Structure 1
């Protein structure tokens, strides 16, 4: 469900709930998520709201395009947080159009709550694609990341030309790997 429509959030939530057969009790939470998503949508960002079939999990998804190549410091800022409870879990991601990307899942403590976020970076010749899923309750990440992973395999961004930075992606993975995870891969 996209948060970019001009229709009132409550009307979108009500239509969505009716269409998928959820109980009316979910309308307020879904409309609040749409309103929140709209505050960061626009320009170089598309924002969506991922809703579980039973309405138990609602997660924001932001797809942003930086009109330049980001620096290593900017990558680190996107892939790390001072609020982490555990080291990030790294992934190398292969896609049809965005090329080889790098992703981390992070578990953070925010305002006395544990929340999960997953971020992806895709490196282009003249742009960087940044995808962020969450924050969402940790068990919700297991649900929410499945459709996002499937979508990213075939997503296309106008004007984006993937750059082959496999060596750099491998370095990111090595930097984020927990002690001992690489054992046995050699």
Structure 2
């Protein structure tokens, strides 16, 4: 009994004077946090058509052109290249695409963006992009937003199995139709 009481007393002192036993190092919030967008957007909806996971760079006084240079392949966000999953076969920007997961790249331009689905997996940035891994390339229509969009954003809007995917950044909005 005395041994048990001595053990409990020693453990209490150790716990009192140290937090190393339970301390855990957690990363600080990323400057370009990861986010996801899906259609249908309701988290209660389990029968999704599409979901995209991406990181959200912020302008912070910079231009869209600085972060997503015109005419160059962009990872479509920050950090890892965006990953898009289609849960059923779709027509993406007018082209047939099989259900599955793809890496999403874009090539920004003034009047249209080229939107690329690639077979590449686990890609950081667009540094190792290979055109030979393209599944499809489609054109995204560019329009202007009245209000500046500080953090790169992706959203979906639609009805039934027909949706539009929107990229928004600065005063640029790019639209690509997705039909299930």
TM-score, with length taken from structure 1: 0.28
1 or 2, which has the higher strand percentage?
A: 2
TM-score, with length taken from structure 2: 0.28
1 or 2, which has the higher helix percentage?
A: 1
Bigger Rg, which one: 2
